[in-house]
Structure 1
Amino acid sequence: MLSKEDNRRLAQLERQLQRDDPDFCARMGGGNFSVSTTTRPALPLFITAAVIAVAAVLLGLAGWWIAAGVVAVWAAVTTTAAGFRIRKARNRPRT
């Protein structure tokens, strides 16, 4: 039985090996370490961000400035998440 420190160190070594040589990890792990090939598309996130942005504009027009600001930040975070998902999908190696 490994101690908590040993488990932490082992997990750190596994992550480092996966970053350094993902092909080796895929061969040794039977492909279990590979990145999931099914990822959700970013389009629904962009649509969600657009709907949230429209809600922010409507709240701003209604005079609810604080709520509009919070919702606008929410829309920005959603758009950023979609952008990161697209960038990650573009950088993923094709198999």
Structure 2
Amino acid sequence: MLSKEDTRRLAQLERQLQREDPDFCARMGGGNFSVSTTHRPALPLFIIAAVIMITAVVLAAVQWWIASAVVAAWATVTAVAAVVRMRRARTRL
């Protein structure tokens, strides 16, 4: 069993090889790469969630309660997606 440091280093080497020689990786792996090599940061999702939540507050201020509740739920789902993405990015390192 590999240590955490060895696992991290192996993942780093795999990413580097994928960037430098994708043809070799495709031949050795059967051309099946389901894991994306690009990692998008979670910060834009947090910003979007904040903007959506501000919209919910504005809708509540004008007493559009149903619309406000729907938009607040949307903001919550977006914030949870950002947290999940951030946690997955931490476990990959």
Question: Shorter-chain TM-score: which interval?
Answer: 0.5 to 0.7
Distance 1:55 1:76 in 2: 13
Q: Secondary structure of 1:36's partner?
A: coil
Please, what TM-score do these two structures have when normalized by structure 2? 0.64
Identity %: 65
1:91 is matched with which residue? 91
Distance 1:30 1:49, change over 3 A: same
Q: How many residues align?
A: 69
Distance 1:82 1:31 in 2: 30
1:79 is matched with which residue? 79
Distance 1:31 1:38 in 2: 17
Distance 2:32 2:89 in 1: 19
Please, what TM-score do these two structures have when normalized by structure 1? 0.63
Distance 1:89 1:80 in 2: 14
Unaligned runs of 5+ in 2: 1-13, 15-24
Higher relative CO (Cα under 8 Å, sequence separation at least 6) belongs to 2
2:53 is matched with which residue? 53
